[in-house]
Amino acid sequence: MNPDLVVIGGGLAGSEAAWQAAQRGLRVSLHEMRPNRPTGAHATDRLAELVCSNSLGSNLPDRASGVLKTELRSMGSFLLACAEETAVPAGGALAVDREAFAELVTARVEGHPRIELVRSEVERLPAGPAIVASGPLTAPALAAELQQWLGGPHLYFYDALAPIVEYESVDLAIAFRASRYGRGEVLDGDYLNCPLTRAEYDNFVAELVKAERIALREFEADIASGVRAGPDKFFESCLPVEIIAERGLESLAYGPMRAVGLRDPHTGRRPYAVVQLRQDNLAGSLYNLVGFQTNLTFSEQQRVLRLIPGLGQARFARYGMLHRNTFINSPRTLLPTLQAQQRADIFFAGQITGVEGYMGNVATGLLAGINAARLLAGEELLTLPATTMLGALCWYVTHADPDNFQPMKANFGLLPALERAANGRDGGKRERFGAYAARSADDLSAYLAAAKFEAVDDGGGSHRATVALLHAAAPAAVRAPGF
Ligand SMILES: Cc1cc2nc3c(=O)[nH]c(=O)nc-3n(C[C@H](O)[C@H](O)[C@H](O)COP(=O)(O)OP(=O)(O)OC[C@H]3O[C@@H](n4cnc5c(N)ncnc54)[C@H](O)[C@@H]3O)c2cc1C
């Protein structure tokens, strides 16, 4: 095939971008280097593989990630449709069976008549139109090419994965099923909660802080060769649990181990702290430790995490670990349309732009795919309003302080302040979040109508029709999640 557009990377952003462009009539060549060249974090050759958590964030319409999902739905996101088809129960969040999700994305992309999936590593920027969506683990040759082409340094730092345990190995005489404040989709609760008393918590934190960690040798060569990096640099939203614990004895009790909204049915009391486990696959055989990213050695993970009541005999399906994160200095190199400043036909999408989080990666893929198609059709490119979550993310990464640029995920702090109500009152948090969501919906639909934007088929139509039929027939308690 002689492609109109090359997409580099078949991850979250690249798969979405390829679909959007192909659905608009472009012949797309999607290059994915796996399985020929592994990344160190991906475990399969599937497209859109989720490398860590299986949660795509909140699905509630008045949460930042929920607002982003509403915008993506209205713009016809392909990956969001696939996620909704493969959702597992997760309270107010959208979580998926990672294997079913990646399988579905791969099957639909491979079956698309205008997408050619090429299993090869791209080392040089293509001469024609392209979308670079090679992710946080961009292969070294392309990273070097980008560094040279963009001028100025790449930025590196480290992020961490949470462990996964087998459901069968969790002691249900101790762990209890519940969602905070009784919210959730499964009647008896979406999470398994491991309760800790004050004494158990103190002992756990003490052991965690002194446990042995994996040395960062693998990364030291990068540092020595001039890459800006440091073992103290992490995503604030994805800090290793031992690093949080070092910040003070109570940090975990107020962070990932907070027990608010939970009561232990075995004691009738609120525990001092909890470790929450979230379902990780549709079969319900695997659970991940929510917020428990870690860089302890595997033997220390076994020893220390088994101190958690309910996990005394835990079997680990995957251990936590640290990984590399690569992203470009977007404020110096990108436009809010996601075009490179120095070449209008090169777009960037996904984590490599500094937009953080699965849904943000999908969203930038969607915008890059749409804009690439509009560019080739001679149409005006979309620059979404800054009052929308996607518009605000694109604005942020292209206008942040370039000297201190760090990745950013969807949050209400990115949006312009709301106009004050006539009575001068700001209203409560819930009210404000609802107002942000309503303004985003209004501004997005007005903008898209003016831009003559039409969403393409997201591929999930037949599924939605089936689910609608099931909904009509089924009692509320057994309805499928995500709808
Ligand atoms: C280990 C890890 C854990 C993470 N955990 C989370 C999490 O829990 N929650 C969250 O919201 N975000 C998480 N992130 C951040 C980010 O959301 C994910 O990495 C997400 O998958 C990024 O999407 P992407 O499309 O930008 O990149 P990816 O999904 O990584 O896709 C990029 C693809 O490009 C391919 N590729 C790379 N270089 C080349 C090349 N030269 N030629 C051809 N193909 C190439 C790769 O094989 C890969 O398939 C994590 C990141 C990592 C690395």
Cβ of residue 320 lying under 6 Å from some atom of ligand 1: no
Separation CA 313–CA 452 (nearest Å): 58
Cβ of residue 122 lying under 6 Å from some atom of ligand 1: yes
Give the Å distance between the CA of 137 and the centre of ligand 1. Answer: 6
Instruction: For residue 191, give both structure tokens.
Output: 């999470």
Separation CA 108–CA 86 (nearest Å): 14
Model confidence at 479, pLDDT cuts 50, 70, 90, reads very low
Res. 220: pLDDT tops 70: no
Of 349 and 464, the one with more pLDDT? 349
Least confident segment among 211-225, 313-327, 332-346, 408-422: 211-225
Q: What percent of the chain has pLDDT over 90?
A: 63
- Closest Cα to atom 20, ligand 1: which residue? 358
Separation CA 360–CA 327 (nearest Å): 14
- The distance in angstroms from the start CA to the end CA of the chain is 38
Separation CA 406–CA 396 (nearest Å): 10
Pair 324, 221: CB distance under 8 Å? no
Pair 270, 259: CB distance under 8 Å? yes
Q: With CA atoms as reference, report the closest residue to 349 among 1, 5, 3.
A: 5
pLDDT in tens, 151-207: 766 555 566 678 989 899 999 999 999 988 877 666 677 899 999 999 999 999 999
Pair 343, 180: CB distance under 8 Å? no
- Choose the residue to mutate in 134, 156, 397 for probing ligand 1, maximizing ligand atoms within 8 Å of C-beta: 134
Q: With CA atoms as reference, report the closest residue to 276 among 203, 208, 412, 184.
A: 184
Res. 221: pLDDT tops 60: no
Model confidence at 475, pLDDT cuts 50, 70, 90, reads very low
Q: With CA atoms as reference, report the closest residue to 53 among 96, 9, 8.
A: 96
Cβ of residue 125 lying under 6 Å from some atom of ligand 1: no
Sign of the torsion angle spanned by Cα atoms 317, 319, 324, 328: positive
Sign of the torsion angle spanned by Cα atoms 22, 26, 27, 31: negative
- The CA angle 356-147-130, to the nearest 5 degrees, is 70
Res. 56: pLDDT tops 60: yes
Residue bearing tokens 């804009």 = 371
pLDDT in tens, 229-247: 333 444 555 678 998 999 9
Residues facing 29 on adjacent strands: 6, 116
Q: How far is CA 456 from the centre of its chain?
A: 23
Separation CA 450–CA 434 (nearest Å): 25
What integer pLDDT is reported at residue 398 of this predicted model?
A: 93
- Closest Cα to atom 14, ligand 1: which residue? 357
Q: How far is CA 226 from CA 135, 154, 219, 232, in A?
A: 21, 10, 12, 17
Q: With CA atoms as reference, report the closest residue to 390 among 78, 82, 65.
A: 65
Q: For strand 5-8 and strand 273-279, is the pairing parallel, antiparallel, or unpaired?
A: unpaired
User: Could you identify the atom of ligand 1 that is nearest to the CA of residue 37?
Assistant: 47
Separation CA 348–CA 392 (nearest Å): 16
Q: How many CB atoms lie within 10 A of CB 165?
A: 24
Q: What is the mean pLDDT of the chain?
A: 87
Model confidence at 81, pLDDT cuts 50, 70, 90, reads very high
User: Could you identify the atom of ligand 1 that is nearest to the CA of residue 12?
Assistant: 25
Q: How far is CA 113 from the centre of its chain?
A: 28
Separation CA 400–CA 115 (nearest Å): 35
Give the Å distance between the CA of 358 and the centre of ligand 1. Answer: 9
User: Could you identify the atom of ligand 1 that is nearest to the CA of residue 356?
Assistant: 17
Of 365 and 418, the one with more pLDDT? 365
Model confidence, pTM:
0.77
Phi, psi of 288 (to 5 degrees): -100, 150
Give the Å distance between the CA of 47 and the centre of ligand 1. Answer: 10
Q: What percent of the chain has pLDDT over 70?
A: 86
Q: For strand 130-132 and strand 343-348, is the pairing parallel, antiparallel, or unpaired?
A: parallel
pLDDT in tens, 99-140: 999 999 999 999 999 999 999 999 999 999 999 999 998 998
